Amino acid sequence: MNTKMNKSEGQGTGKVLSQIARRSIEAAFRSDTEEPAIAVEGILGERHGVFVTIRGRRGKLRGCVGTLTPHFANTAEETWHVARDAAFLDGRFAPVDAHELKHLRFEVSVLFPLEEVTSTAELDPQRYGVMLATEDNRRGVLLPDVKGIKTVGQQLTTARRKGGIGEFEPVRIQRFAVKKFREED
DSSP output for 122-146: G--TTTEEEEEE-TT--EEEE-SS-
C-alpha to C-alpha distances, 71 to 101, 106, 124, 147, nearest whole angstrom: 26, 20, 27, 28
Q: Find out if CATH 3.40.50.2000 is the number for domain 2-111.
A: no
Q: What is the pLDDT of residue 36?
A: 66
The dotted CATH code for 115-177 is 3.30.1490.150
Q: How many CB atoms lie within 10 A of CB 146?
A: 16
Question: Residue 4 has what pLDDT?
Answer: 36
Say which residues have a Cβ less than 8 Å from residue 12's Cβ, sequence separation at least 6.
5, 6
C-beta separation of 107 from 18 below 8 A = yes
Q: Quick one: pLDDT at residue 113?
A: 96
pLDDT at 32: 83
Beta-strand runs (E) in 67-167: 105-111, 115-116, 128-133, 139-142
Identify any residues that bridge with 139 across adjacent strands, giving them in sequence order. Answer: 133
Are 66 and 111 in contact, with CB atoms under 8 Å apart? yes
**Are β-strands 115-116 and 105-111 bridged in parallel, bridged antiparallel, or unpaired?**
unpaired
Q: What 8-state DSSP symbol labels residue 154?
A: H
Q: Is the dihedral of CA 153, 116, 89, 183 positive or negative?
A: positive
Give domain limits for the chain.
2-111, 115-177
Average pLDDT, 10 consecutive residues per value, the chain (185 residues): 38 80 94 73 91 94 96 94 97 95 95 96 97 96 95 97 96 97 83
Q: What pLDDT does 5 receive?
A: 36
